[in-house]
């Protein structure tokens, strides 16, 4: 079991817990009342600071219902919090762009996170040819 040290900067949000016992993601909640007009950008306070274990990072992404419920998108599409962001005042925030006028209330679930091990150290070896067969295109379809 891995321990996360959490400092609650807001006492108005629910404590961290797994999503309804059915997922290994953890919901994050707005720690402030936010009113946004279409096209406005904002960093929404999440009301927590977390000390991650060395060798781990947190990945923050929208909940599946975030756009439907609030009309916001995460501007960097995935947030990464590394181990060094671990002080008392290092509050997690959620960068959003409003696609329509919206109001987000304190304690609304707006995103989620999980922790992951850091990528292992890599070396890069330059070669003239790779051993795989070329498929052309991109992605899994190979279609351009």
Do 18 and 1 contact (CB within 8 A), yes or no?
A: no
Beta partners for residue 57, in sequence order? 116
The neighbour count for residue 25, using CB atoms within 10 Å, is 15
Three-state secondary-structure class, residue 27: strand
Locate 141 and state its tokens.
Answer: 């379809």
The reply to whether 82 belongs to the active site is yes
Residue where the block lists tokens 């990072």:
57
Alpha-carbon distance 79 to 71, whole Å? 18
Among 20, 27, 82, 108, the one annotated catalytic: 82
Active site residues: 82
């Amino acid at each position: 079991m891995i321990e996360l040290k959490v400092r609650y900067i807001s006492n108005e949000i629910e404590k961290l817990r797994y999503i309804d016992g059915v997922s290994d993601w953890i919901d994050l909640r707005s720690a402030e009342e936010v009113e946004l007009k279409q096209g406005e950008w904002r960093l929404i306070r999440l009301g927590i600071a977390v000390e991650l274990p060395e060798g781990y990072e947190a990945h923050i992404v929208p909940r599946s219902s975030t756009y439907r419920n609030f009309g916001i998108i995460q501007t960097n599409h995935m947030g990464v919090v590394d181990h060094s962001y671990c002080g008392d005042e290092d509050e997690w925030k959620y960068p959003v762009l409003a696609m329509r006028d919206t109001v987000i209330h304190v304690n609304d679930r707006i995103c989620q996170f999980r922790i992951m091990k850091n990528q292992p150290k890599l070396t890069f070896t330059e070669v003239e040819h790779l051993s795989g067969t070329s498929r052309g295109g991109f992605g899994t379809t190979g279609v351009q």
